[in-house]
Structure 1
Amino acid sequence: MSSRRFAVLKTGNGSEFVQKTYGGFDKMSENLLEEDGEEWVVYSVMDGDFSFENEIDTFAGFVITGSPADAHADDDWVLKLCEVLRVLNQKKKKVLGICFGHQVLARALGGKTGRSDVGWEIGLKQVHLDTELVSKVFNVQLPPTVNVLVSHRDQVSCVPPGALILGSSKKTKIEMFSIGDHVLGLQYHPEFFKDVVLDIIHNLLTTNMLDDGTANKAIQSVKENDPHQEQLKGLCKAFLKGPTIKEV
């Protein structure tokens, strides 16, 4: 196994702005985590590219990107992704799931996900962390409350068997979960920037998927505060590249 080789499982495309400015969700995830001397390979699983299946043991870790798709859908590629995630879990390969990735991880490993009763959560919000558990599982010290960037209307309603809930918020009870030290799901976006969220808000407004009141509150939340991106980046890197710690 290469300790310096990682795979990004691309599950969605960003807007034209995101593609031109940041290279898409896959490139943003890579930019968040990549360090010198590492090899990062993107597989567009949304287009049916699961060619990494025969190379699983050559990768140190996997990252599942965000997506406008539904993690609870029965599209062929989503069902195939669930199958592969179960294999990765059995092998105890490190898997980081972001937003859609968080949701599809939960589904694949025995939890539940779907449309949220609270509707869209978008903008900047606070997430409360179980800092003791985070420290025990990943050997990382984080503040008890972090500002995060979010854009979702689905959420995990039940974690898989054996999972620990590490973070929650007022409207989303499962913001972050882990299984052992090899699975980490984040409902929020550590790879996003403020302008990405503002672009999403604009696009949702223009397609009538978001009402003016919700949009205005979301825009204000982004303008008033900054996300704890460096701390969240540190968590993701510690999880994906750190040594095996222990199960709690």
Structure 2
Amino acid sequence: MPSLPLRIAILETDTPVESIRAKYGGYGSIFKALLQAGADNLKHEGLSSTSGLEISSFDVVAAHEYPKLEDVDGILITGSKYNSFDNDRWIVKLVEFTQEVLRQRRVRLIGVCFGHQIIGRAMGVKVDRSDKGWETSVTAIDLTKRGQEIFGRASLALHQMHRDIVYEYPPEVEQLGYTDRCAVQGMYIEKRIITVQGHPEFTGEIMRTLMKLRHEMGLFNKAEYEESIERADKYQDGVIVAEAFLKFLLND
């Protein structure tokens, strides 16, 4: 088991819209708050929102910043508005860095939405637009037997905001969950990777803000927008997922 404090590097692959950033900070801050809540719920000796976590953030988009692997125990790749299958310089560099992490065995990888897809791409499977369209707002996720063991419940409810998907599981990966719109909702390799397609870090307010913005951009019609907004404030299992991330990092 890694010794405490757990040193977690958050790779920020996007910047929140202004109103969200003003209230919550960048995605590094949003994930830090989520992991702290997970630590309090986990009740692991020496680990809480105020002790046992050393969280740093890196701007991989504009600044091309990355942690040194010897300085961290885990790396979390955030969600993003960008396409994980594009070949922008920073995206290609992120894929190459992810492959570097995968080649070693000590530092563990966590992927969320775009980050989940980047890990899939780095492992050589197809990542692209879904032919089933957008998946949005609080959504029920069916868990596999392994997923139920990892998350400690029969199913998960998580915010979703994506129309890109990982099309298949890499051969060595354990499947964690699925929905009608996305068959690859989570990937797992013990002591190496854990990913979710959903957004455990989102709140109802963040989801409503994004839905309103993207509706105004014409990405959702009125019916799609209203249906998603109705689900935005439903219960979701973000803190449960944060607990699972921390258990994954602590597992020896």
In the TM superposition, what whole-angstrom CA distance separates every residue of 1:108-135 from its partner, at most 9, and x where no partner exists?
Answer: 1111111111111111110011234553
TM, length-normalised to structure 2: 0.88
> 1: distance between equivalents of 2:151 and 2:170?
25
Deviation digits for residues 54-77 of structure 1 (CA, Å, limit 9, x no counterpart): x21221100001100110000011
Pick which of 112-121 and 34-43 moved more: 34-43
Shift of residue 155, structure 1, vs aligned partner: 0.8
Equivalent in the alignment of 1:42: 57
Q: Which range moves more in the overlay, 167-176 or 39-48?
A: 39-48
Instruction: Give the unaligned 5+ runs of structure 1.
Output: none
Structure 2 residue runs without a partner (length 5+): 37-48
Q: Which residue of 2 aligns with 1:96?
A: 110
Pair 1:116 & 2:118 matched? no
Question: Partners in 1 of 2:111 and 2:210 — Cα distance?
Answer: 20
Cα RMSD between the aligned structures?
1.7
Runs of 4+ in 1 over 4 A off after TM superposition: none
Cα drift, residue 81 of structure 1 = 0.7
The residue identity in structure 2 corresponding to 1:121 is E
In structure 2, how many angstroms separate the alpha carbons of the residues matched to 1:202 and 1:182? 37
Partner of 1:233 in structure 2?
Answer: 242
Secondary structure, counterpart of 1:62 in structure 2: strand
**Is contact 2:11-2:66 (8 Å) kept?**
no
* 3-state SS, counterpart of residue 188 of structure 2: strand
1:103-142 matches, within 5 Å, as 103-132=117-146, 135=149, 140=150, 142=152
Calculate percent identity across the aligned residue pairs: 25
Following superposition, the deviation at residue 2 of structure 1 comes to 6.7
Distance 1:195 1:51 in 2: 30
Query: 1:60 maps to what in 2?
Result: 73
SS in 2 for 1:81: helix
Q: C-alpha separation between the residues in 2 aligned to 1:23 and 1:171?
A: 31
Match 2:21 to one of 10, 15, 19: 19
Provide the C-alpha distance between the structure 2 equivalents of 1:59 and 1:84, rounded to a whole number of angstroms: 14
1:214 aligns with 2:224: yes
Aligned AA for 1:62?
A: I
Provide the rounded CA distance (Å) in 2 between the counterparts of 1:232 and 1:45: 24
Per-residue Cα deviation, 1:131-167 (whole angstroms, up to 9, x for no partner): 34553xxxx4521111111111111102223111111
The size of the alignment, in residue pairs, is: 236
Change (3 A) 1:15 1:161: same
Letter in 2 for 1:153: R
- Is the CA contact (8 Å cut-off) linking 1:166 and 1:178 kept in structure 2? yes
